Amino acid sequence: MHALTRKEARALDRRAVEVFGVPGIVLMENAGRAMADLLLALGVHGRVVVACGKGNNGGDGLVVARHLDIAGVPVQIVLFDDPVNSTGDAAINHAIVARTRIPQTALLGPLDEGRLRDILRDADWVVDALFGSGFRGPVEPPYHRIIEAINASGAKILAVDIPSGLDADTGGASEPTVRATHTATVVAPKKGFAEGAAWLGRVHVVGMGAPRELLDLG
């Protein structure tokens, strides 16, 4: 399977919408649900903390949280960016989750590290939805402390598309980078996965509901 660069991954999403007419919100829903199904297949035996950053990676995390909740899994969402900053598909998912009973905690501004450690304590899994494949280092405060807390939590970690802090093109790891147990990457592996293999855990490719022909549009 062809590994995608950062630019190719963005172009693929754009083509899915513009060429095949699949709405972006459908792509996000399909990818997030596939990640939730993967997590259920891997085995969940306790609470799942979904750590959401800004943009579409955080939106994917919200979809994962919704579908885990539907399956009866205890879920807690932690927001590290104010939902009022969200736009597009991520904003739609923030609005949906706000109408549910899924517990949400917003850790905005100066990081309350004690509160974050309390949330992560005894979690079975942490879903890393902080940064996506568009990330370019370095990791800025307070995210360096957030990543360190996730890595130190003792929970299993599922990375959404790519571990936060890893460069999708080069595989270069920022200091720090999420050390995932499993990575659920969308449509195809990313080019940097070969060099960054130590951070990925086991890689699983999940679909987003776009036609197979999408990958043939050079």
| CA–CA distances in Å: residue 37 to residues 50, 82, 148, 204 | 15, 27, 27, 12
Domains along the chain? Answer: 6-208 (3.40.50.10260)
pLDDT at 212: 83
pLDDT < 50 positions in the chain: 217-218
For residue 168, the tally of other CB atoms under 10 A from its CB is: 28
What pLDDT digit, counting tens, does each position of 133-180 carry?
A: 999 989 999 999 999 999 999 999 999 999 999 999 999 999 999 999
Single-letter code of the amino acid located at 116 = L
101 phi, psi to nearest 5 deg: -100, 10
pLDDT at 5: 95
Alpha helices, DSSP H only, in 81-203? 88-98, 113-120, 143-152
**Omega before 176 cis (within 30°)?**
yes
pLDDT at 1: 66
Beta bridge partners of 79: 52, 106
The helix (run of H) or strand (run of E) holding residue 39 is helix 24-42
For residue 95, the tally of other CB atoms under 10 A from its CB is: 12
50 vs 73: CA distance, rounded Å: 12
